[in-house]
Structure 1
Amino acid sequence: MSLNIIGISAFYHDSACCILQDGVLKAAVQEERFSRKKNDPDLPKAAFNYCLKEAGITISDIDCIAYYEDPVKKLSRQLWSGSRFVTADSIRNTDHAAVERQIREQFGYDGPVRFYEHHQSHAASSYYYSGYDHAAILTVDGVGEWATTTYGMGKGAKLELFEEVSFPDSLGLLYSTITSYLGFSVNSGEYKVMGLAPYGKPLYVDKIRQLIRSGEAGQYELNMEYFDFLKGEKMYSEALPVLFGLAPRKKETAILPVHEDIAVSLQVVLEEILIEKARYLHERTGAENLCMAGGVALNCVANGKILKSSPFKQLFVQPAAGDAGCALGAAALAHTDLSGEAMTSQLEHVYLGPSYGSTDIKKLLSATSLRYTQQKDDEELVKQVAQRLAEGKVIGWFHGRMEFGPRSLGARSILADPRGADMRDRINAMVKKREAFRPFAPAVLESATGEHFDIDHPSPFMLETCQVISSFDLPAITHVDGSARVQTVSEKTNPRFAALLKAFADLTGCPILLNTSFNVRDEPIVCNPEEALICFVTTDIDCLILEDFIIDNENNDTSILEMINQNLLERPSFELNPNVYTFI
């Protein structure tokens, strides 16, 4: 009998579900990919059903459901915060057992449910999947129950968190506050601030330092004079615009040099504190390996600085470092508790979501009157796609199991030639429909990485930046500061994507492609073939690859495509509050 454990994160933002069988991760997916609600916080029912199906089990075969936080401790923090949303009536009606009740009622499950603290789940999501048998652990996010930053150590099966920073002091909330002040949505726009930072000059570092004070050991404090998130309505107080001498930027208005300067100043201070605390963690643990998780660990610029500027020799960042990844951590903790065995298998890839066969795709395409070709020979397929890429065409690439986490890694990707001078602007404007300053990432054959990028180890999850050192001019993937967020691709984990990179290199000499997520602005990454078609229809993508099928835009009547767009897929209307972090 297998030990079947379901891990769940839900009711916060970016809910997800995963399944472990005898300590092996069989499936993991975010609910947003099914519901099409960006950062969907609801109980992941569709993801749950997918995980059972992928593992070949029924609900009666589940040994335990592991939940990623402690509802009682979370409730205590919510009540303490004094939000206007917490009233006498709401307190009387509050039920800390509601989470377990909803899991049982909506899943129809009557077995054991285990609860683990939020940052414990973050820590486990990194350490237990790192492949290390011992490591220091640093978790940094907005807030869990009370913790916002934790320091710990993993050794074998044992994971211990020995220090924490508590709410409201939070590096994640500092970053989200400036994100909101700069006119971007909280919970989703933080990476835009990171991308904006290299354009600016660090003229506001001293002012940012007034917002946060580093303390002894692992501690730091926010200066709450400048923050207003405790009320649950907005992130910053009226003192913040006074400090900067600048009114908050309104969404969708022009981005000025001063906004770039504030962004880079924030990034500088964030890196200073993270490096200082990483050095402290090394002093406490003496470990060579560092594991990181939490939303702040998705700041790939800071990750690279931590590795270079601290004594740690190796770094593993959980690919789904935000709350979605906590599902993996909770499941790993339950596995360790129930089996008594260490779970330290390396997470080599995140192709853990649904896949779709040629039969279903052909049935879909046959119903649309689209002109397409089918190429069952993999070698010939990648040659034809590489030729289109070399001609400057933008490709929608849909193959195999969908990625888990926020990055497209060659399963649901938009691909292009990184050497084109206008390619970045074209994709930003006509395909992704997003801000022009946003950088794109390169995917490179792992064996050729060192020739083109200043990095000496694999980076399969796009979680570090490094300098571009290639002899090729790569304007489409090189940021303004000469850096790139690299994905290294190996034949072992994604053979078809690696074969495409090799075919492109055979044609051009360049083993690199621009790789960005297969979606448009404010929508989740596509999951199924229908959604890939919709994205193809509504953008300037030249060619869509659906597994073995090739669909060229130029060969199809746009009126047919518009009909598909209008009738094929219903788009739900949904958005988390973009003005405040969703900790209420």
Structure 2
Amino acid sequence: MEKILGISAYYHDSAAALLVDGVIIAAAQEERFTRKKQDERFPVNAVNYCLSEAKISIRDVDKIVYYEKPLLKFERLLETYISCSPRGFASYIKSMPIWLKEKLFLKKLLKTELASLGNCKVNELPQLLFTEHHMSHAASAFYPSPFKKAAVLCVDGVGEWATTSVWMGEDNSLTPLWQMDFPHSLGLLYSAFTYYTGFKVNSGEYKLMGLAPYGNPTYVDLILDNIIDLKDDGTFRLNMKYFNYTTGLTMTSNEFHKLFGGPPRKSESVITQREMDIARSIQQVTEEIILRLSRTIKKETGAENLCLAGGVALNCVANGRVLSEGIFKDIWIQPASGDSGGALGAALSVWHQYLKQPRNSAKGDSMKGSYLGPSQKPESIKDYLDSVKAKYKNLNDDELYANLAKILVEGKVIGWFQGRMEFGPRALGGRSIIGDPRNSKMQSVMNLKIKYRESFRPFAPSVLHEKAGDYFQLDHESPYMLLVAPVVQDIRVNMTKEQDELFGIEKLNVARSSIPAVTHVDYSARVQTVHEETNPRYYRLIKEFGKLSGCSVIVNTSFNVRGEPIVCTAEDAYRCFMRTDMDYLVLENFILAKNDQPKVQKDESWKTEFELD
């Protein structure tokens, strides 16, 4: 049996993934174990978890592969500094000591970390390999996909040099076709606007996407006339005088600030109509670029199917546009599209490209619903609950689901912890907070009292896959919550003239459909279709709720507070439950009511423990 360990680390969102004879056994992000959001450190805990899932040690692994080539990245850093000299001196001085101390000698550093982890000598370690960053993305997109043949589009901030790359995948081979290079990057363009509107780069991009429907696209022409030279084929060049990421320590330059009439919004300050309009404008430009690239790829390759990865592939609105425009017969998006998924892609590229092993011909994708993280045994959960003197009931399945359906109908909010943890940024019914989507107050309650986050941020619907067409204009599976689709006309609520004239956040409190908690202001929703084969317990929960309520949809958001990684263990879940206004907690078959718990002073330490995203 060939065992391959993939690792991504040292930039952001480090992770590990393990393949055994090409089958994905385990994958997890380091942040879930350390409780530090987007932890970039060597993924000691994630590696240990992957090895324990396969019941092996590091010395049993045949090959270890790192998700990019650090010398190529160093080359890009040096060349960028030289080309921008002397303006790049500040960023050069900041980054160079780290590179010279650690990243330039990454092979040695990795071997030291792995030997320490395995309690062995460096010469006892398995073979260590390196693959290119965009190859890792492309492999993570194509190899687990259900397609025998597909075009692949990878779009992110930057790897070594590539920022956008196009590939052709067939059987077990991936062939690079063309790429766009740094500094011309759609990911960095979107991140620049994330920064300018006052959100955190590398984590706030989804806020910008969520804010966009509240605005008007008033800045589109300004962006296209000044900032980006966009060609008909989707390729582009950025006007670098508006950016500071090549030479300075911020994303945007003073020229950018002059163009948009002021400095970046201060984090946590009031969001105005201006930020909403800027968000809508850059979202529209992003969608147009992705659509043009998709049409070009279709024309050049003739491929029927498209696979997507890279951080920009998490822009589910753009993904929904590609699907609805019918450019390709089908699309598939890697659920861990960002750098964490690079660990999985690196391992897959070694198995298929380096070792030339065939792909599994099984029906559907090979991601196992992305439930690739750790689970927790009932006896372990019980021991923990007893240790903190928690009050709970242990119900059989029939009692549990009947109770939960009733609790949801009553408008209560439930923390739901079961099975294996999800790999990637989305909670998919393993580590979720759930509620009744028909409740018009559910969005504000969840945002402000449970998640402690901005009121405008939308929630996703989880829907039984066979019922999706009853609620959403979507004739496609969306198990990973990476497609946005409109709600169907039948369940929409028409706006009055006065409501139509509302601006910005004023639109938030107007119910748009019979499932208002998951319907965004533009009548869209980020849909997760739930499948019995990959998550039978979550599927049954929604089915029971549907029997009682007549609604086969529930609200699903990630189980965490703002700035906190998604919970990993029962202990994480109970702590989060006690910090918030959640009503019930479900840990496998254990159910806990908030009102029954030991009366302790509400713990707000997380507000200093977690850096706000």
Aligned pairs (5 A) from 1:292-331: 292-309=308-325, 311-331=327-347
Residue type of the partner of 1:292?
L
Q: What are the superposed Cα offsets for residues 399-421 of structure 1, whole Å, 9 maximum, x if unpaired?
A: 01100000000000000000111
Aligned pairs (5 A) from 1:379-528: 379-469=398-488, 471=491, 473-528=514-569
2:286 matches 1:287: no
| 1:156 shift after superposition | 1.0
- Give me the whole-angstrom Cα distance separating, in 2, the residues matched to 1:225 and 1:199: 29
Aligned pairs (5 A) from 1:1-400: 2-82=1-81, 83=88, 84-87=90-93, 90=97, 93=100, 98-108=105-115, 110-209=125-224, 210-215=226-231, 217=233, 219-309=235-325, 311-343=327-359, 346=365, 347-375=367-395, 377-400=396-419
- Give me the whole-angstrom Cα distance separating, in 1, the residues matched to 2:54 and 2:228: 46
Change (3 A) 1:530 1:92: closer
CA contact (8 A) 2:233 2:292 kept: no
- Give me the whole-angstrom Cα distance separating, in 2, the residues matched to 1:50 and 1:466: 36
Q: What are the superposed Cα offsets for residues 293-338 of structure 1, whole Å, 9 maximum, x if unpaired?
A: 0000000000011122352110001001000001111000111145
Change (3 A) 1:571 1:130: farther
| 1:60 shift after superposition | 1.5
| 1:365 shift after superposition | 0.9
Residue type of the partner of 1:171?
L
- Give me the whole-angstrom Cα distance separating, in 2, the residues matched to 1:571 and 1:174: 31
CA contact (8 A) 2:244 2:250 kept: yes
| 1:59 shift after superposition | 1.3
CA contact (8 A) 2:163 2:186 kept: yes
- Give me the whole-angstrom Cα distance separating, in 2, the residues matched to 1:162 and 1:335: 21
Partner of 1:582: none
- Give me the whole-angstrom Cα distance separating, in 1, the residues matched to 2:234 and 2:287: 14
- Give me the whole-angstrom Cα distance separating, in 1, the residues matched to 2:436 and 2:594: 18
Change (3 A) 1:243 1:570: closer
SS at match of 1:229: coil
Q: Judge which range, 331-340 or 384-393, deviates more.
A: 331-340
| 1:85 shift after superposition | 3.9
CA contact (8 A) 2:417 2:430 kept: yes
Q: What are the superposed Cα offsets for residues 498-522 of structure 1, whole Å, 9 maximum, x if unpaired?
A: 0100110111000100000000001
SS at match of 1:264: helix
- Give me the whole-angstrom Cα distance separating, in 2, the residues matched to 1:216 and 1:571: 48
CA contact (8 A) 1:395 1:415 kept: yes
| 1:131 shift after superposition | 1.8
CA contact (8 A) 1:37 1:572 kept: no
Q: Judge which range, 95-104 or 139-148, deviates more.
A: 95-104
TM-score normalised by length of structure 2? 0.90
- Give me the whole-angstrom Cα distance separating, in 1, the residues matched to 2:152 and 2:576: 39
TM-score normalised by length of structure 1? 0.94
SS at match of 2:401: helix
Q: What are the superposed Cα offsets for residues 429-484 of structure 1, whole Å, 9 maximum, x if unpaired?
A: 00000000000000001111111111001110000000112636111000000000
Q: Judge which range, 497-506 or 462-471, deviates more.
A: 462-471
Counting matched residue pairs gives: 570
SS at match of 1:230: coil
Q: Judge which range, 431-440 or 227-236, deviates more.
A: 227-236
- Give me the whole-angstrom Cα distance separating, in 2, the residues matched to 1:200 and 1:89: 41
Q: What are the superposed Cα offsets for residues 104-145 of structure 1, whole Å, 9 maximum, x if unpaired?
A: 111115221111110111001000010211100100000000
Change (3 A) 1:302 1:67: same
Residue type of the partner of 2:245?
F
| 1:211 shift after superposition | 1.1
- Give me the whole-angstrom Cα distance separating, in 2, the residues matched to 1:95 and 1:501: 49
CA contact (8 A) 2:333 2:482 kept: yes
- Give me the whole-angstrom Cα distance separating, in 1, the residues matched to 2:423 and 2:138: 18
Partner of 1:581: none
| 1:213 shift after superposition | 1.0
Change (3 A) 1:89 1:557: closer
| 1:65 shift after superposition | 0.5
CA contact (8 A) 1:164 1:218 kept: no
CA contact (8 A) 1:278 1:310 kept: no
Report the aligned-residue RMSD.
1.9
SS at match of 2:110: helix
CA contact (8 A) 1:441 1:486 kept: yes
| 1:90 shift after superposition | 3.7
CA contact (8 A) 1:123 1:139 kept: yes
- Give me the whole-angstrom Cα distance separating, in 2, the residues matched to 1:96 and 1:240: 32
- Give me the whole-angstrom Cα distance separating, in 2, the residues matched to 1:455 and 1:289: 17
Q: What are the superposed Cα offsets for residues 1-39 of structure 1, whole Å, 9 maximum, x if unpaired?
A: x10000111111000000000000000000000011100
- Give me the whole-angstrom Cα distance separating, in 2, the residues matched to 1:327 and 1:572: 28
Residue type of the partner of 1:380?
E
